[in-house]
Chains A and B, each alone.
Chain A
């Protein structure tokens, strides 16, 4: 199993505040790796550095050998990384199907001139629509294809966002608190979906607060507290690690 994402000595300072310090981690291809920690631990900052939203102060981010640091967000997507957002960013006033089609953007070719000369009835457009439908089917939303995205239930919205992310054909899928705001039933369905994604060969890396979910599906867990790594290992190990328990100030649910 090879290392897909290798992050070395990642650090971020906001003025005098050291949000992330000397954090190194690896994500193995085909695995589900989780990053957890109490609020304010720096998980989202680390996440945003990998996805290109924030510029790291120190460290390097290697994805399949390519340095991601300094790369523009949309270029990172072209490298084969896709992400979802904690507060679910959908295109609310478009149809569910069209949301997914946007995800296909980097894999389609038609540009400005092509659009003008060839019009909308090209083979590529047909294929795109078909592929979008299939991605929807994968996450179980095909019956809602023509509905407006804003009409979906919360759990469905998350799944749509995942479908859109998958449409870009990523090797690595980054999930930002995917279970946030979900009820237990939705969480169970989410677990199944993440497993299904992993089984198709996509590597998953996620931040999460829902311990039950994390413990259930992760192959490897990293724990951050106040910007620094305090533990790493298999779920069973992490569950009982005293540092982790102390950091959370309470028993994880």
Chain B
């Protein structure tokens, strides 16, 4: 039994079965998932975080380097995909002054669009940009709505900062089919691009870190992650700035024929769910094959003793770069899928705290094993969702049958505290995690010994004739 507990494939199998059982059912059946719509979203998040965990495990678990900057990959992957999906036809421009009169509410009264003579107009904007009249899109909308009732106000102008990537010229919405990444194939291509971009970033980022050990490596990855975060936050033209990149019915790609705007997106969600599941499977096989290969052995050697690894003929620099490449690749793919799940990609995805969360998965699950990464993601993300429920006094009241006026709840702010406590307690009492790697197994049987002695291989040549 303990052997099964240490089998990565067994764990994968269990999780796959669980994901299928509790996931969305084929829409043709007309039934909802066992866990409900909210539950399906939770499962999706767990699957995506599993991909992140598997990816980060390559650097932290296999190679033994404490990477604190994984959020950069997560965010970059998301930005590449989201940005690619929202491809612009307009170059970015300077700050425009758009008369408020040229703005009108869309049909659903929820967005603003401009008259044709206003020129290129942005769908989202930064109201806090040096103007103290408006304070939020809602404000202008409220004003517009009020305008209709009270007969208008004085002409005012609004400063808007167009963001390349968010600008869709009015009256020129791109037809689904003509969007280069709007189709299924195109989306997968975009996903691949995200993976490659992040892999390249991983290698680039890795170059200055090759000679660093332990603490210093961690701090440098942290510093780089912070720089990336600041860039993402401030370079709105590239990454959507404060409001991020928003995907909607127009820009979310069709998946295997399913359109997200049709039939409440049920079929689309079903397809997307299984795309993510397939990606998780891919990530697992990708990582497992590397783990069991010559490269994986060199990573393990580096983790155990870098000097001895070098003396055994391992090109440590190259091996580390490949680890960064592989880990970045998976991070980019996970990030790209995450973009589709979130539908709004902001700089919050690049926060260092997100990196720490994934590190927590690995620390909890057991550093160095894929099964640890899977378990850690499932347990901790599940915990996070549970905490979110616990923050709602209504839910707490209902579930625990408390008094009708009970406001008992664990506030959202406790998240940081709980993660912190978990890290400290784990390091104190079970630093190796729940499912750590275990090297020893039963001694070879006599048959095995005889077989080894009998067989021949050209690789065994004592005597310097190799």
Q: Do chains A and B touch in the complex (CB under 8 A)?
A: yes
Interface residues of A (CB under 8 A from B): 51, 53, 72-74, 77-78, 80, 82-83, 85, 89-95, 98, 101-108, 110-112, 114-116, 119-120, 125, 127-128, 130-131, 133-135, 137-138, 142-149, 151, 164-166, 168-172, 197, 200-203
| Cβ A91 vs Cβ B292 within 8 A | no
Choose among A112, A144, A172 the residue that contacts B322 (Cβ–Cβ < 8 A): A112
Choose among A94, A119, A144 the residue that contacts B443 (Cβ–Cβ < 8 A): A144
| Cβ B293 vs Cβ A169 within 8 A | no
Taking CB as reference atom, which chain A residue is nearest B443? A146
Choose among B296, B453, B459 the residue that contacts A128 (Cβ–Cβ < 8 A): B459
Interface residues of B (CB under 8 A from A): 286, 289-290, 292-298, 300-301, 304-305, 307-316, 322, 325-326, 437-444, 449, 452-453, 455, 457-466
Q: From known contacts A102-B298, A102-B309, A116-B290, infer whether A143 and B449 are also in contact, taking CB-CB under 8 Å.
A: yes
Closest 7 CB pairs of A and B: A169-B466, A115-B293, A106-B313, A131-B459, A201-B463, A77-B313, A120-B292
| Cβ A83 vs Cβ B311 within 8 A | yes
> Which of B326, B442, B466 has the largest count of A CB atoms less than 10 A from its CB?
B466
| Cβ B297 vs Cβ A98 within 8 A | yes
Chain A residue numbers with a CB within 8 Å of B449 are 142-143
> In whole angstroms, what is the CA distance A133 to B444 when docked?
11
> In whole angstroms, what is the CA distance A235 to B437 when docked?
48
| Cβ A74 vs Cβ B316 within 8 A | yes
| Cβ A110 vs Cβ B300 within 8 A | no
13 contacts between A and B (CB under 8 A): A80-B466, A82-B312, A98-B300, A102-B297, A102-B309, A111-B295, A112-B295, A114-B293, A137-B452, A137-B453, A143-B444, A143-B449, A200-B462
Chain A residue numbers with a CB within 8 Å of B292 are 115, 119-120, 125
Chain A residue numbers with a CB within 8 Å of B296 are 115
Chain B residue numbers with a CB within 8 Å of A145 are 443-444
Chain A residue numbers with a CB within 8 Å of B300 are 91, 94, 98, 102
Taking CB as reference atom, which chain B residue is nearest A171? B464
Q: From known contacts A108-B294, A147-B440, infer whether A92 and B304 are also in contact, taking CB-CB under 8 Å.
A: yes
Q: From known contacts A112-B295, A148-B439, infer whether A107 and B466 are also in contact, taking CB-CB under 8 Å.
A: yes
Chain A residue numbers with a CB within 8 Å of B293 are 110, 114-115, 120, 125
> Which of B310, B322, B455 has the largest count of A CB atoms less than 10 A from its CB?
B310
Chain A residue numbers with a CB within 8 Å of B459 are 104, 107, 127-128, 130-131
| Cβ A127 vs Cβ B458 within 8 A | yes
> Which of B296, B309, B457 has the largest count of A CB atoms less than 10 A from its CB?
B457
Chain A residue numbers with a CB within 8 Å of B460 are 130-131, 134-135
> In whole angstroms, what is the CA distance A37 to B465 when docked?
32
Chain B residue numbers with a CB within 8 Å of A202 are 462-464
Taking CB as reference atom, which chain A residue is nearest B436? A93
Chain B residue numbers with a CB within 8 Å of A149 are 439
Chain A residue numbers with a CB within 8 Å of B286 are 116
> In whole angstroms, what is the CA distance A134 to B455 when docked?
9
| Cβ B311 vs Cβ A73 within 8 A | yes
CB distance from B325 to the nearest CB of A (A): 8
Taking CB as reference atom, which chain B residue is nearest A144? B443
> In whole angstroms, what is the CA distance A77 to B314 when docked?
9
| Cβ A89 vs Cβ B305 within 8 A | yes
| Cβ B304 vs Cβ A93 within 8 A | yes
Q: From known contacts A115-B296, A201-B465, infer whether A91 and B305 are also in contact, taking CB-CB under 8 Å.
A: yes
Q: From known contacts A101-B297, A116-B290, A133-B452, infer whether A91 and B308 are also in contact, taking CB-CB under 8 Å.
A: yes
> In whole angstroms, what is the CA distance A202 to B31 when docked?
72
